Amino acid sequence: MAAHYHVIPWAQADAAARVRARAVVTNGSTGLSVDELATLPALELIASFGVGFEKIDLSAAHARQVRVCHAPDASSQVVADHALALMLALARGIPALDRGVKAGGWEALRAARPSLRGKTLGIIGLGNIGHRLAKLGEAVGMEVAYLWHEGTRGDGYAPHDDAVSLAAASDVLALTCPGGPQTHHLVNAPVLRALGPAGFLVNVSRGTVVDTDALIDALARGVIAGAALDVLETEPVVPDRLRAMEQVILTPHLAGRSPQTRIAQHEALANNLNGWFERGEPAHRVRPPA
């Protein structure tokens, strides 16, 4: 970006620099608050590097007529791939089996593990990532259900009006929805009870979608069979109890990271900035809040 724009790191931007700034580049996890927005009187564009924008104050931006943009489909396939890998590893117990064999075990580790074929994959967030995960689930022989909301395109999958109903119908509950206030702790104790003692939870969305305390309690008491989490409410800090659980798989919020997606995110960012400053419209605008 420095070849085309005057770029100032946020930490180095004094009051004079913020007064002049016409665009801010951030991401969903960092966002831009209403207080930060107030320090940017000339701001025209907030560009999120990546798909997420949950910590950008959309209402405040819209009130100021500041455009918000992101990279809506740059990492969808690799996130869906990662979710499938977590589902398979969780169901088949791959991490524990790997550790056991490397420690010298064999026969005692050969207990039967569940297959995903014939099971139901429940998806919360049937958007770009969710649709790709649904196709992958079908490819390994799963039925697909999803949480319906207005505007969701179901493609013949089984809709459910609430998360408890969806969890009750699912063997694996996968989260591919946006973060933010609307999905905060959407997966809570009642949802986990509905998922049941043979059910698995997979989260590749945002840590805030899951009530962490309720999840740890459900795992400890066998309310659900296991969880695979790429994201956490407390990240990068990992709760000690989660670290100690054999039925939990953890990855460090990298589901969307690959060389290809990084290039696609850079291209989307460039197209958004250039689109705004050259043509008056970013390439991938986030719709204003209702």
In the three-class reduction of DSSP (H, G, I as helix; E, B as strand; rest coil), residue 46 is classed as strand
144/123 Cα distance (integer angstroms): 8
Among 184, 253, 266, 285, the active-site one is: 253
User: For tokens 């088949």, what's the residue?
Assistant: 92
Among 235, 241, 257, 262, the active-site one is: 235
167/200 Cα distance (integer angstroms): 10
Active site residue 131: no
Among 70, 160, 206, 284, the active-site one is: 206
Other CB atoms within 10 Å distance of the CB of residue 225? 20
φ/ψ of residue 32, rounded to 5: -155, 120
Active site residue 206: yes
Other CB atoms within 10 Å distance of the CB of residue 268? 24
φ/ψ of residue 181, rounded to 5: -60, -35
DSSP-H helix ranges across the chain: 15-20, 34-38, 58-63, 76-92, 94-102, 128-139, 163-169, 189-195, 212-220, 240-243, 259-279
Spell out a b/e string for 132-163, using b for 16 or more CB atoms within 10 Å of the CB, else e.
bbbebbeeeebbbbbbbeeeeeeeebeebeeb
Active site residue 117: no
* Residues involved in catalysis: 206, 235, 253
